[in-house]
Amino acid sequence: MIGNSLFLFAILGFVPLVFVTLKAMVFKGKWEYVVYFLLAYLPFHITVLSLTYQTTYSPILVAFFQLAKDLMVILGFVLFLLFHKNIFEYPLRLNIVDRLFLFFIGLALLFMFLPIGESSFVNKAFYFKNMLIPAIVYFLGRNTRFTDQEISNFFKVIFVIAVAAFLVNLLESTLDTHFQSYTGYALFNQAIYDTAPSGNFGLSWTFETQAITKRFASFFSDPLEMASSVLLGFAAGLIWYLSSKREDSSIYLLVMFCSLASLFFASSRAAFAAFFVMIFFIAVVFRLYKLIFFGFAMALAFIVYVFIFASDDFYYFVVDTITFENASSVGHLVEWLIALDSMIANPLGAGLAMSGNVGSVTDDVRIGGENQFLIYGVQMGFLGMIVYILLLGYSISYAISVFRNTDNLMTARISFTAAAVKTGLLLPLFTANAEMYAYVSWISWWMVGYAMSEYNRIKTGYA
C-alpha cells in the first residue's frame, strides 16, 4: 500500500517535470533547461526505478525511466545544434579543461573499439555511454548563458533537495526504518541486476556500519551517494551565506545544517573526511580563515565525542578504520592492490568495462572497483588515469580563478561551488566509483563547464 502510494506520488512528480522541461526546451528553444530536469530528477532516480518495478513488475517500464535522464541530455545536445545559428561556424575556443575532456572521452572511444579485455562490445558501449553523458553535460554547461534569475532558480533546486533529504532522514530515524524498505529497492536490484539482498536489514551491506547500526540514504541510491551529494548542498549554501546580506542569510544556514546532518545519518567515513578537506580547502583558497577555526572545532568535537561519549562499538569502529583493521577499510585496500597489480601488468590498459561497479561491468571480468582513479587506470592504463587526474586538477584550479576574477556574482557562486565540490569529492573518489553518483557528478561537471565559459571570457574576451 505504501509502495503504491509512493509510486503514484513519483509519477505525479515525474510527468509534470518532463512536460514542463520539454515545453521549454522544444517550443521555446531553452535547451539549457535540461539542467533543471537533472537537478530535480537525478536524486530520486533509483527510488523511481525501484517503485516502478515494485508496482508494475515491468522491466520495459524500468528501462524507460533508466534511459530518461540520458535521453534528456542527448535531446539537449541535439536541440543545441538545431537552435544554434550558423552551427558550422561554431567557434572552437578551447582551454586546457576542454582539451583534457575531449582527449579523455576520445581515449575511452578508442578503447571501446580496440579488441582489448574480456568484456563484450555491448558492455563496452554501455560503459562508454556512462562516460560520454557527463561529458555532454559539461559541454551543455560550457555553452549555457543564464540570467541571474535562472541561476538563482538553479541553486534553489539544490537547496530544496538538501532540505528534503534531511527531512526524509529524520523520518527514517524516527521510524528506525530505511526509506528503501518501502520502495522495493532490494526487489529491484535482485530482478534487474541479479543482486541478492545482503546485510542485516535486507538491503545491502552499505546500509549498515560495522557495528550493525543503520546508515540512512534518504531518497538516494545508497548512503555513500547521499554523503557525497550533500557536499553540493553544503558548498552552495555556504557561498550564498557568505555573499548575501546577513538579514537574508538564515535560510542558507538551514541548508548547511541539513546537509551536515545528512552526513551524520549516512555515517560515511570518506565523506566525513571529505567534508573537512573541503572546509580547509575553502578556508585557505578563498581566504575564509574563520572556517579553519570551525573545522578545527568540528574535528576536536568529534575526537572528544569518540573518546568520551561514544559507545565502545563506535570507538573501535573509528580506531579500526584509522589502523586499517576495519573489514571495510581492508576491503578497500585489497581492491586497490588488485587494481594496481593489473595496471603494472597492463600499463596501457586492460580494456573498457573491466573495472568498477556499474551494471555493464560483470563480476566474472571485474578487476578492482573501489577507487575511481584506479578504475580508469585499470581500463585505460596509466595514461587514462593521469588525464583524469589532470582534468580534475585543472577544473578546480580554473574554477578558483573564475571565482576570484569574475565580476558576475552568480557566476562566482557557481565557480565557488564547482571548485569546492570537486575538491570535496577527491576522497570519495578514492573509496568508490563516485562518478556514477549522477546527481553530484553530473551537476558539478555542468558547473565546471559553466565556469569555463567565463574563464575564456576573462582570458580572451570571448566565451
Instruction: Between 299 and 178, name the one with better pLDDT.
Output: 178
Q: 63-108, pLDDT tens digit by residue?
A: 999 999 999 999 999 999 998 877 666 777 899 999 999 999 999 9
- Look at residue 282 in the predicted model and tell me its pLDDT: 79
pLDDT at 277 over 60: yes
pTM for this prediction: 0.93
Q: Tell me how far CA of residue 163 lies from CA of 11, 71, 91, 227, 257, in angstroms.
A: 21, 28, 41, 14, 9
- Look at residue 19 in the predicted model and tell me its pLDDT: 96
Q: Tell me how far CA of residue 352 lies from CA of 47, 115, 118, 137, 254, in angstroms.
A: 28, 10, 9, 21, 43
CA distance 172 to 170: 5
pLDDT at 325 over 80: no
Burial class of 18 by CB neighbour count within 10 A (0 to 12, 13 to 18, 19+): middle
Give the residue-averaged pLDDT of 432-457.
94
pLDDT at 462 over 70: no
CA distance 69 to 247: 38
pLDDT at 331 over 70: no
Q: 344-386, pLDDT tens digit by residue?
A: 999 999 999 999 877 778 888 889 878 999 999 999 999 999 9
**What average pLDDT does the structure give for the chain?**
89
Which residue ranges make up each domain of the chain?
A: 1-90
456-463 long-range contacts (CB < 8 A, ≥24 apart) are: 456/93, 456/95, 458/401, 458/402, 458/405, 458/406, 459/95, 460/93, 462/91, 462/93, 463/93, 463/145
- Look at residue 381 in the predicted model and tell me its pLDDT: 96
